[in-house]
Amino acid sequence: MSSIRAQLLKTANAYLDAHTNRDAKALGAIYSSSSTHETYPKPVQPIFPHVSNEDYLAGVADLFKMWHSFECHQFSEPIVDEEARKVVLFVEGRGVADVGTYVNEYVVVLKMNKEGTLVENRLQFFDSQGLLAWVAKMGQQVTDLQNKVTGKAAEA
């Protein structure tokens, strides 16, 4: 295995571990300060809008607090493009919160810096049906989190 491939996979695994451990600080350590965060498909964008790295990390820290437990399992081998410095992850997320159990599938594309140590762009695709059903259960907690991340709380 080439050294850059190993580093790309190490950073991608750190991403998964940070989610499983609900560790916003560890997650922040693998993002460049100018990292961008995009979420698809369009029906989930009102819940998880495209945001700056600072807003993303603030939002994810609050989101992690909602979970009693959360795990990420890859259901397929990652795709690694060494030249483009990208790793595509195929993930099942499973968590427990006050409103019950959450299960969803994601495709996450992590575009990294030249060294493969920092994520410069996170592009995430949710199974929108599972996510929207979960958001309906979460109710006001999700609305409050969304408002905080998008700055609407300050405007209200």
Domain borders along the chain are: 3-147
pLDDT digits (tens, 9 = 90+) for 51-91: 889 888 988 888 888 889 999 999 999 999 999 999 999 99
Quick one: pLDDT band at residue 11, thresholds 50, 70, 90?
Answer: very high
pLDDT digits (tens, 9 = 90+) for 76-86: 999 999 999 99
3-147: CATH number:
3.10.450.50
User: Which range scores top for mean pLDDT: 23-32, 58-67, 145-154?
Assistant: 23-32
Locate all alpha helices (DSSP H) within the chain, ordered by sequence. 3-20, 24-29, 53-66, 128-138, 140-150, 152-155
Q: Is the pTM of this model over 0.85?
A: no
